[in-house]
Amino acid sequence: MSSVGKGVVVASIGRMLRSRNFSVNAVKIDPYINVDAGTMNPYAHGEVFVTYDGGETDLDLGHYERFLDVELSRKNNITSGQVYLSVIMKERQGEYLGQTVQLIPHVTDEIKRRILETAEGFDVTIVEIGGTVGDYEQLPFLEAARQLRLELGDGVVFVHVAWVPLLKTTREFKTKPLQHSVAELRRYGIQPDAIVVRSERPIDANTARKIALFTNVPQHAIYNSYNVDTIYKVPLLLERQGMGEFLVRRLRLEARAPDYREWEEFVAKLTSPRHVVKVGMCGKYVELPDAYLSIIEALRHAGAALSARPELVWINSVDVERRPDRLHELDVEAVIVLPGFGKRGVEGMIECARYAREGEIPFLGICFGMQLAVVEFARNVVGLKEASTTEVDPDTPHPVVHLAPEQRGIDALGGTMILGNRRIELVPGTLAASLYGSSVAVERHRHRYEVNLEYLPKLVEAGLLVSGWREDVRRVEIIELPGHPFFIATQFHPEFRSRPTRPHPLFLGLIRAALARRLEGKVGARSAASPLQAA
């Protein structure tokens, strides 16, 4: 079933093979009819992970990128929507030469074609088939997988990830659901070669024996991914159980000793922090932290490098609108105003940016968070009280953030934003340039709106500094406030490029600034009463 941790298991399998220096690729299959995740509500789906080439993909690709330390393409996320769309387009163009176009072989062939295309050039490609065994929409993918095994033989290994619940009343593991899902897989012609049991606690030998007996999988190929304090331990956990060696043997790869030195060092730092930093996370989807998954992971990576554990304080921007005074009670040491869309909660996000600016609290604004920091600055520093973004108020007299020119006239929602990598020039001598230690950066984007250049002279005159410019067209990418201990905001999404052993400079800068401020004893500094509070 979904949310059981398949993505982390897949990423961990990838890490085990990467640690043996094999080149590894990973593909996520989402059986839903949406062409991509871009049009889905974060509550339904969690974060939309953006690839370098502008794919709006499932958040599991983020796990893959972080565990494998690779950059994946939009092609690494296959959905039913994409498959059916291309089969139907081909049919309309007459490419099937008069045949009756059917689920088998035409749809399954298209699935196999897409998998094999992404697998090209890699030692191993891991394919995660999302959903639950037995779902109608998943069937063509299982059928394609069965055929691949038939065609590639030993080149294919099936790993089944299944939840084994621990019954609280009798304190026993129930293997029945797993037995049934394996029976169901076998009905489709797939016999798992290995099983990864997901469970709350380690399973006992008896349970493993029972699983082996009922599933026809030898006991040595039954692995257990029980709950651990960090997902980054899962590769080490499965490795210790011999899964890495099993996969290498089963895939007939060369036997190599794995090297986990960097990974283990990272996990050790992550799990034994010397400091805790309270980071206020302000947005409107805070009930579902998965909506900001890559930002959370980026904070953990940066924290580990600085021996600090980020303690996330979720700030619901809608609540801030009702009770802005509460912000002061949270005593956060850093503030992130999060990405987002639409009107709801916007005033609360603006208030958070103001709180960080006035309270001299280290601040990072990401995408919408940057746009709203500019709105806040225009209102409260420049004095344009009615400034806004046209996304929220199309009739604002001061559209300091507006629709990017190339976005005008686009009416389809799917895949039409400014997406993926853009090169950014960093202005010498700025905080951004010093954090990156470079004069250029390449970062991923997902937006339609941007800073209105007509207002730039006024903003700059009042003290706002543009420290990053898009290289292809002149657009504001990074802003900062000289004089503030750490105030930086970006039009792009830095979180997508953070890696466990290579934390992102902007997140590092934020945590470092929060720690420095604590040493100076400034924690708890309060800002002036807010206008919302007066209202």
Residues that bind ligand GLN (CB under 6 A): 339-341, 367-368, 391, 446-449
Instruction: Give 47 or 128: the residue with its C-beta nearer to ligand GLN.
Output: 47
Q: Is the peptide bond before 105 cis (omega within 30 degrees of 0)?
A: yes
76 in Cβ contact with 51 (< 8 Å) = yes
Instruction: Give 22 or 285: the residue with its C-beta nearer to ligand GLN.
Output: 285
Instruction: Give 339 or 468: the residue with its C-beta nearer to ligand GLN.
Output: 339
Burial of 314 (0-12, 13-18, 19+ CB in 10 A): middle
Q: Find the catalytic residue in 65, 367, 450, 484.
A: 367
Nearest approach in angstroms of CB 417 to ligand GLN is 6
Instruction: Give 15 or 447: the residue with its C-beta nearer to ligand GLN.
Output: 447
Nearest approach in angstroms of CB 447 to ligand GLN is 3
How many Å apart are CA 523 and CA 505, to the nearest integer?
A: 23
Which amino acid is present at 501? T
Nearest approach in angstroms of CB 353 to ligand GLN is 14
Nearest approach in angstroms of CB 460 to ligand GLN is 21
How many Å apart are CA 483 and CA 470, to the nearest integer?
A: 24
Write out the two tokens for 470. Answer: 């898009």
Q: Find the catalytic residue in 301, 480, 495, 504.
A: 495
How many Å apart are CA 218 and CA 207, to the nearest integer?
A: 13
362 in Cβ contact with 513 (< 8 Å) = yes
28 dihedral zone (left: phi>0; alpha: psi -120 to 50; beta):
beta
Write out the two tokens for 155. Answer: 């080149």
493 is catalytic: yes
* Nearest Cα residue to 113 out of 83, 139, 88: 83
282 is catalytic: no
Kindly report each contact of residues 87-94 with a partner whose C-beta sits within 8 Å and lies 24 or more positions away, as own/partner: none
Q: Find the catalytic residue in 106, 445, 484, 493.
A: 493
Which amino acid is present at 250? R
Instruction: Give 324 or 369: the residue with its C-beta nearer to ligand GLN.
Output: 369
Terminal Cα-to-Cα distance of the chain (whole angstroms): 48
Alpha helices per DSSP H over 57-137: 60-68, 80-92, 108-119
143 is catalytic: no
User: Which residue in this structure is represented by tokens 């790993």?
Assistant: 159
Helix H or strand E encompassing 251 = none
Instruction: Give 273 or 289: the residue with its C-beta nearer to ligand GLN.
Output: 289
Helix H or strand E encompassing 500 = none
Alpha helices per DSSP H over 453-503: 456-461
Nearest approach in angstroms of CB 340 to ligand GLN is 5
Nearest approach in angstroms of CB 123 to ligand GLN is 35
Instruction: Give 83 or 349: the residue with its C-beta nearer to ligand GLN.
Output: 349
Nearest approach in angstroms of CB 404 to ligand GLN is 8
440 in Cβ contact with 446 (< 8 Å) = no
Q: List residues with catalytic annotation.
A: 367, 493, 495
